Structure 1
């Protein structure tokens, strides 16, 4: 059965989630002190922070029947704040947060070096918390390693409940791979999964390895695992050589078929092999939003399945990245 990237994998609760799970339940279900109702969920890109929060949010209606949930990332918060502050809409802006008692704020690093927005964030957070509410923020860094934040906001984060989402251990990686391959009906034996599980990769990259192992098995029996994470610049250089397009063309809005195909390839490798987030990839490729990146990924997965020529070029790019990108 072909791999369907649109099928949503059931969340797998791992030992690495134990502390964050207990903290989440305590904050939402048991009405703990205010500092414990701010959860700072952090971990490297691709470790599964968003998937974990989505899973835990499924319990909120039963734990907190009166919940009024707001999903607003830090970058969206900044946009709304700037719009409100320049159009006399600040009362409506503050009212939005007063009407909610659970706020999930993704990627708090978007507030870095924005003191006015940080002050507004504190006020908005207080509105939510004053309703005996819960604030959940995510980041790729721990509270203690944040830079570019006011001392007041840092103090709030340092006093809250920090919930690390660590990269899964080998046993957890094997369990994730088993779940993933069974869910998508991919034919990979357990011995091969055990080999893949030895790579200390985040879930997203593990799933990419399993997908490629199944999708292009008749082209190459190597898993899609690069030895280290390449930079976006290095990926573009490798793709431009293989597809005979310039890096400038890859980063341009040009939609010519040969350029678009090369761009899909570069975006796919960027998402599955680099440490960059969707937002970082979109910014690098001058795309307007995450959805264009997701479209490129899905389109290239189709090309990998259907085009032997694309598969060969793809393998050559991986060979190049493994052979040349990380030589000291």
Structure 2
């Protein structure tokens, strides 16, 4: 209990209530609550005890998927800003970007980031209260509260919280009463310093059916877009899922086939991978590029592949251009730095982007054996990790390879 004079008591409660709650929770535990009262108020411990015994009376509880964390989120150029903003919000709720508005087509990770924020605050937030729902869920609870004549309970559920996460706010459109209630909920939370994170499948400006005053609030913080993943990111998503699920591949070509054919979003990528794995389980065929091609042809019967996989020859061609050497020099036995480094880079990129086996790559590089290719890939990886200039050169070449697929 914190005592404050009458003339500043409400200001202290509004301005510093959440900070006081966080500090008290970090010392005394997440069940503690802070009340700001008049200096001569009679202290009754019963309300606080009832709050501890009845957690549903305050902020809404939420179950966050344990696998949807920041560690499991694949970062690329298409979502780097959204990921960084979400992490900043999770680390400093109400202080970094408020509100945070994430938008993009379905399947790109908006809901993943919401769950990641919730999981992070639950683990590291020192007792901060997190409320998470969808716009449809908010609407359904509001209607139920109206029918039960329990608006006070509804308001307490969504306003007595430190962080409010709302998914798919586009579904608030054309629901006048729900929009108004959400507007007041937004204001109540924002004015007390609580964090709001919203997701949507479009820009705020593209929701013409939503009230202007609500759109203005959506745009008052940081608006971050999530775009479809590029080829490199799609391969990373698939490799992470394969590693996580312990899937055994006959060769990496299956992942390249999926990544080249499915380019819309991560959800579709993982769905295609699951189908390939299921077909492997039912037929006993190895998970290779042939199996992936057969399954994808059945999954997309009227669609040609979005692009053709990279070939070793194409990797060699662009590497020669980048380092100003001839194709004969690249395949020669020369060991000078001018020749050896581009050769190592070409073998490394062929391994990363073509899905070919080590022996196959060696054959295309003058009949070298697989141990030579392994050595070249390892040396290239070490130099990329330790030499910023080399890393920049290889990344630039990698972008050309992807763009020219």
Aligned to 1:223: 295
Check if 1:212 corresponds to 2:275: yes
1:76 is aligned to 137
Give the aligned length.
223
CA distance in 1, matches of 2:246, 2:123: 33
Rounded to whole Å, the distance in 2 between the matches of 1:68 and 1:201 is 35
CA change 1:63–1:18 in 2 (3 A) is: farther
Q: Secondary structure at the match of 1:159?
A: coil
Task: Mark the CA change 1:227 to 1:106 in structure 2 (over 3 Å): closer, same or farther.
Answer: farther
Q: Distance in 2 between matches of 1:17 and 1:63?
A: 24
Q: Please say which of residues 174-183 and 220-229 is displaced more in the overlay.
A: 220-229
Asked if the contact 1:78–1:117 (Cα under 8 Å) also holds between the matched residues in 2, the reply is yes
Instruction: Report deviation, 1:62.
Output: 5.9
| Partner residue in 2 for 1:96 | 157
Structure-1-length-normalised TM-score: 0.61
* Corresponding residue to 1:143 among 192, 196, 204: 204
Query: Which has the greater radius of gyration?
Result: 2
> Does residue 1:193 correspond to 2:252, yes or no?
no
The 1:62–1:134 alpha-carbon spacing in structure 2 relative to 1, beyond 3 Å, is: same
Change (3 A) 1:227 1:51: farther
| Cα drift, residue 178 of structure 1 | 0.8
Q: What CA distance in whole angstroms lies between the structure 2 residues aligned with 1:58 and 1:84?
A: 28
TM-score, L = length of structure 2: 0.50
Q: After TM superposition, list the pairs within 5 Å mapping 1:106-185 onto structure 2.
A: 106-185=167-246
* Runs of at least 5 residues in structure 1 that lack an aligned partner in the other structure: 1-5, 230-328
Distance 1:38 1:124 in 2: 13
What residue number does 1:22 align with?
84
Deviation at residue 8 of structure 1 after TM alignment? 4.9
Q: 1:226–1:52: structure 2 CA closer, same or farther, 3 Å change rule?
A: farther
Aligned partners of 1:211 and 1:117: how far apart in 2? 39
Tell me the C-alpha RMSD between the 2 structures: 2.7
Contact in 2 for aligned 1:28/1:37 (Cα 8 Å): no
Alpha-carbon distance between aligned partners in 1 of 2:66 and 2:122, rounded to the nearest angstrom:
24
Tell which has more relative contact order, 1 or 2 (C-alpha 8 A, sep 6+): 1
Q: Is the partner of 1:14 in helix, strand or coil?
A: coil
- Superposition pairs for residues 155-304 of structure 1, below 5 Å? 155-188=216-249, 189-199=251-261, 200-217=263-280, 218=283, 221=291, 222-224=294-296, 225-226=299-300
Deviation (angstroms), 1:174: 0.2
SS of residue matched to 1:147: coil
The alpha carbon displacement at 1:32 in A equals 5.8
Report the counterpart of residue 281 of structure 1 in structure 2: none
